Amino acid sequence: TYTTDTKSREENKKTIESLYGLSVDIKKIRRLKEWVLLQDVAYVKEIAGILKEMGADEAAVASILERCPEAILHTPAEINSQRALWQLVCQNEKQLIKLIEQFPESFFTTQYHENQKANILFFQELGLKNNIITRFLTSAPNIFYNPVEKTRNVIETLQRNYLSLGGSDANMKIWILKLLSQNPFILLNTSIAIQENLEFLQKNDFTDHEVLQLLSKLKGFIFQLTPATMQKSMLFSKNVFKCSDQELKELVLKCPALLYYSVPVLEERLEGLLKEGISVAQIRDTPTVLELTTQIVQYRIKKLSALGYDIKSGNLESLSGTKKDFEVSYGKIQSKKERPIFNPVAPLHVED
């Protein structure tokens, strides 16, 4: 832990000189993390030396230290331990230094070293590929900070529920690995929260098969919700679409976003669609359109209108889906419009 009291402290001249020698932009550090420059002990040359040893050139070293100046407060021993740890999942030092350049803060968080190591080994045991684990280390580093027992608990809860919902032993490993690679943040939940969310769905008459379907469709994001938020979102959809419980269930299975998005988000998106002249009945027929932000909807409507396609009278299939889906729909409408109408039996007017 480092002090952040800057009033009575002076910058460490030795640190400043060493950083200048490495062409580091000191003004940038003063602006963002001045407290680093006030510490009595820093290992500027040593940390720069380790980075260079790994293959970083001078520009890369300067960039790393500007973006993550607290790196210089770690001892060389700590950084070498971290280097050895990340090498467990990196192909070589070239890949490692590239990752450090892109995600310096993830690499220089060393206070959870033992937990990081235990979690990496557990993920390898579980069957996760090293390239997925490196992605976790850089984009979801906090999942490694928990004790490995917590990680194991969450995985066991998921496995137990997968089997109790009718999933097969043969497919369980693939299912777990896919879920984790899609959304590693599920590991930040507690086993109790996971259990409560699944029970909520079962209480709302979703069959075991349907619950499994929702888990896969939502890529595990369902575990970042609570029964209370899901209840509110479902109630909102029920009132908007004026449907029965069974119809609501069918809508949710068709568009899990109705369960996932909060009421304010759904309200805003619904209003955006209604403002464009789209009816509630149209939205009910194609609820997946609510997965799109208002800006995306407006952009797509504008593009379709330019082709003379009236969204108010047609269905919304051509509007919804991923960017790729939309481009395919748009292309079909465009080629239909451009294709000349040819009547094979009409007489040909040929000049003599």
State residue 7's pLDDT score: 46
Q: Give me the amino acid identity at 68.
A: C
- Where are the domains positioned within the chain? 9-110
Q: Rounded mean pLDDT of 90-111? A: 93
* Alpha-carbon gap, residue 243 to 234, rounded angstroms: 11
State residue 275's pLDDT score: 92
State residue 94's pLDDT score: 92
Q: Rounded mean pLDDT of 103-121? A: 94
By C-alpha distance, which of 111, 13, 28 is closest to 67?
28
State residue 341's pLDDT score: 52
Q: Cβ of 16: how many Cβ atoms within 10 Å? A: 17
pLDDT above 80 (res 348): no
Classify residue 4 as exposed, middle or buried by CB count within 10 Å of its CB (0-12, 13-18, 19+).
exposed
Q: Rounded mean pLDDT of 190-204? A: 90
**Which of residues 325 and 340 earns the better pLDDT score?**
325
| Averaged pLDDT score across all residues of the chain | 89
pLDDT above 80 (res 340): no
pLDDT above 90 (res 339): no
Over residues 3-51, the pLDDT tens digits come to 555 444 789 999 999 999 999 999 999 999 999 999 999 999 999 999 9
* Alpha-carbon gap, residue 272 to 132, rounded angstroms: 38
Take residue 267 and report the two structure tokens written for it.
Answer: 């309200």
What share of the chain in percent tops pLDDT 90? 71
Over residues 138-158, the pLDDT tens digits come to 999 999 999 999 999 999 999
| Helix/strand/coil (H/E/C) assignment for every residue in 115-130 | HHHHHHHHHHHHCCCH
Q: Which residues contact 229 (CB under 8 A, 6 or more apart)?
A: 262
**Which of residues 313 and 33 earns the better pLDDT score?**
33
* Alpha-carbon gap, residue 256 to 226, rounded angstroms: 15
> pLDDT-derived band of residue 352, with 50, 70 and 90 as boundaries?
very low
Residues 83 and 55 sit within 8 Å (Cβ to Cβ): no
Residues 162 and 172 sit within 8 Å (Cβ to Cβ): yes
DSSP state of 37: G
pLDDT above 90 (res 308): no
> pLDDT-derived band of residue 344, with 50, 70 and 90 as boundaries?
low
> pLDDT-derived band of residue 351, with 50, 70 and 90 as boundaries?
very low
By C-alpha distance, which of 100, 90, 89, 109 is closest to 57?
100
The model's pTM: 0.78
* Alpha-carbon gap, residue 114 to 173, rounded angstroms: 26
Residues 54 and 93 sit within 8 Å (Cβ to Cβ): yes
